[in-house]
Amino acid sequence: MKKSLVWLRRDIRVTDHTALSAACAESDEVNLVFIFDQKILEKLDKQDKRVTFIHDSIKELHHDLDKAGGGINIYFGDPVEIITSLAKKLKVGKVFFNRDYEAYALNRDKAVTKSLKNNDIDVATFRDHIVFEPKEVLKKDKTPYKVFTPFKRAWIERFKEEFSRGKSFKIDLKKISSSVQSDFTSNNWMKKMGFEHQELLIPAGRSGALKTMKNFQKHIIDYHKTRDLLEKNSTSGLSPYIRHGLLSIREVLNLGLKDNLIVHDTFISEIIWREFYQMILSNFPVVEKKSFKPQYDEIVWQGGAKEFNAWKNGQTGFPIIDAAMRCLNDTGLMPNRLRMVTASFLCKTLLVDWKKGERYFADKLLDYDLASNNGGWQWSSSSGCDSQPYFRIFNPLSQSQKFDPKGKFIRRWCPELFDLDDKQIHQPHAYGPLFLVEKSIEYPAPVVDYAQKRVEALDMYKTALK
């Protein structure tokens, strides 16, 4: 009997899965394994919502497979040791997994592959969580793009060629083995790993992903008009499910297509931005630690702990900023419009180093992805490729009035401001020092003067770029 092992990572599903499809085609018996990587988890807060999201998703998948006669081997520890040991124990001839492109993952996967081959076990890896790999969409001179628009054009041309072939990754679930090993003998996995189970605002698992995707399908026709309107909550809501592979990127792409033609360009563009940032991180790995534009590393950031802490805790005195940060802290979620607004505010109003904001988002976002998070922060701080010019500074008041005109989002996350009218709620301190006192409202005074800091930000950037 030909036996194989499929290592699930950021692809928690058994549908449209490239590595699993290949394993089913080659094997009589396929074993699945998921590892809670101890080297990653030991760096996280013990109340990290992502661990709960992954835990609940794996638990659902294991339950669904068990009903179908299969299952998943689930472990907590070092993947290099566990994969090698399990592959030998199961006597598999080959290990399959989908590629990841972040520095840690590349080094880990290289070590796993070396260990397996030292034990005469073959390894096969596949492209799965992105449409095109970092070196598949290049300029004519075979160098990477540095500007999004020409990259998008080239990506679409490549896409037309690639997807006209009608690729399909079918899975034979009957081949998935029901014989499973696990580090977890009870339902209390979280406690064994040292984490506390958290309440989630969105449903985990493949079922949650499908429900969210179905709901978005009803509104995708208006996505280009409504995605930034906070009161409508009109983002797709798919990013956590894409990040953890509960949906395949091909399933998501199909939402914006009809007969392999792009019919929802704005939605497809968001997917291409994701691919663009993955390409940049892979081809220019320096961006993980430094600015894409090296001269921006010369900036002397003037903001300190006071400003950064006010931003983190949603206590800046700017309602749209505070609402956004409180939402992030409480749910792990933040619409893309607010990611740009809060990032611009930290760098260009509070004058705090963008790398601090990047790290904070990395700790909090349920959909955290290194490439996209890094790319977004470098875009907002003007330090990245094809980023907004340094003199473009989002005004939190105008952004608030434009994208939350009735203050519904602010009222949800800053309930102390609930009774203010639709005009007052965007800038309560503009109505005089006693305005909030007379209304018995406790809300922090603005941590900085926006107009003054805008001037200082421009000077700060100009000085560094001389």
User: Of the listed 7, 155, 189, 273, which one is catalytic?
Assistant: 273
Which of 254, 329, 336, 395 does the annotation list as catalytic?
Answer: 336
Compute the distance between CA of residue 318 and CA of residue 444 in angstroms, rounded to an integer: 9
Active site residue 336: yes
DSSP secondary structure of 247-269: S-HHHHHHHTEETTEES-HHHHH
273 given a catalytic annotation:
yes
How buried is residue 120: exposed, middle or buried, by Cβ count under 10 Å (0-12/13-18/19+)?
exposed
Q: In what order do the strands lie in the sheet with 94-98?
A: 73-77, 29-37, 3-8, 94-98, 122-126
Q: At 3, list the tokens.
A: 């036996």
Kind of pairing, strands 3-8 and 29-37?
parallel
Tokens of 356: 């601090």
For the beta carbon of residue 459, count every other beta carbon within 10 angstroms: 11
For residue 69, which of 211, 164, 176, 227 has the smallest C-alpha distance?
Answer: 176
Question: What is the spatial distance between Cα 228 and Cα 413, in angstroms, rounded to a whole number?
Answer: 17
306: closest CA among 202, 432, 445, 169?
A: 445
Burial pattern 219-253, b for ≥16 Cβ within 10 A else e, equals ebeebeeebbbbbeebbbbbbbbbbbbbbbbbbbb
* Catalytic residue chosen out of the listed positions 7, 189, 354, 379: 354
Name the active-site residue from 7, 377, 379, 413.
377
Amino acid (1-letter code) at residue 111: A
Tell me whether residue 301 is one of the annotated catalytic residues.
Answer: yes
**Active-site position among 189, 301, 379, 413:** 301
Q: How far apart are CA 190 and CA 171, in angstroms?
A: 30
Task: State the catalytic residue, choosing from 29, 60, 270, 307.
Answer: 270
Q: How far is CA 333 from CA 65, 360, 368, in A?
A: 29, 13, 10
Contact 205, 247 (CB under 8 A): no
- Tell me, letter by letter, the H, E, C secondary structure of 302-359: CCCHHHHHHHHCCCCCCHHHHHHHHHHHHHCCCCHHHHHHHHHHHHHCCCCCHHHHHH
Q: Report the 10 Å Cβ neighbour count for 256.
A: 20
In eight-state DSSP terms, residue 50 is H
Residues 79, 112 contacting (CB under 8 angstroms): yes
160, two tokens = 């037309």
Report the catalytic residues. Answer: 270, 273, 301, 336, 354, 377
